[in-house]
Amino acid sequence: MIKRVLVGLAGTPYTPVAIQRAITIAQANSAEVTGVTVLDLARVRRLAQVQSALTRADDARGQRLAIMESRITESIREFEEACARAKVPYHVVEENGDPFTKLVDLARYHDLIVFGLRSIFEWEFHSGSPQELLIHLVGAGVRPIIAVPETYRPISRVVIAYSGSMESAKAMKRFVQMRICPDAQLKIITFHPSGDEACKLAVAAEGYCRAHGYHVEHQSNPGQARDLLLAAATLWQADMIVMGNSARSVWIRRILGDTLLDVLSQAEIPLFLAQ
């Protein structure tokens, strides 16, 4: 059951869609929505003032910070107006410290987090790289997450990426049990070096989803998810991809490469990330 939805107000092109998705989910579940700014606005203002006093080369950075502040302020206004129109209970939390810490704190008391698909790649949310931030968020337990693209779309076809790992099983079960898209058609896509084993995994996962009342089909692949997942989802015209987000596997990605970060940086449909 979903009763509290947390949405990131980042001032990026993804933010209006994140707001709309969060409100839609809240309406369907009689839930409330918390809008959280993902930058410390007080810090942004201070940096902008400092940069404006420096060299011309730094002026551009100061202007960028001023734009960030303006866009996030606009996001707050849009969020409040949208919630009021939809008659969804809401409140706004503005950062007065480290935004990462605040996001982790709030995630403890919310059932679902919604933010822009690549918002963490847009602004200076964290002193490290976007990959570092994602690793920290996942490792700190910020999940489940719906990461949305720039365009809102109804969700009627959902691909569940299933490897047989405990992480991917938890993601599948979390999505099915939360019933975010109870009328959606599901497609289990498995990846395993052995075609026979991939098929067994797909059939078992399909049975689980059917037991929860979903219409399901499956596709087994002997190849790698990193190479095939997005192509398979696009070919099937999926509206969402469900994936596990093991902190350990994301950490390994720093050296070896990981499907999650590849999909996050390339996908044009929403992702449901859970563990």
Q: Which range of residues forms the domain containing residue 53?
A: 4-148
Residue whose pair of structure tokens reads 């008391």 in the numeric block: 109
136 and 231 both lie in a single domain: no
At 89, give phi and psi (nearest 5°): -60, 140
108 and 133 both lie in a single domain: yes
25 and 138 both lie in a single domain: yes
Structure confidence by residue, pLDDT tens digits, 127-159: 445 455 655 666 666 678 898 988 999 999 999
119 and 23 both lie in a single domain: yes
Section 186-208 average pLDDT: 86
Which of 91, 123, 148 marks a domain boundary?
Answer: 148
pTM for this predicted structure = 0.83
190 and 142 both lie in a single domain: no
Section 11-25 average pLDDT: 93
Cis amide prior to 144 (ω within 30 degrees): yes
Which of 118, 148, 178 marks a domain boundary?
Answer: 148
Structure confidence by residue, pLDDT tens digits, 71-108: 888 999 999 999 999 999 999 988 666 666 777 888 88
Mean pLDDT rounded to a whole number for the chain: 80
126 and 31 both lie in a single domain: yes
Domain count, the chain: 2
110 and 244 both lie in a single domain: no
Contacts of 55 (CB under 8 A, 6+ apart): none
124 and 188 both lie in a single domain: no
Instruction: Output the domain CATH number for residue 175.
Output: 3.40.50.620
Which of 104, 126, 148 marks a domain boundary?
Answer: 148
**Residue 26, CA atoms < 13 Å, CB-side half-sphere:** 26
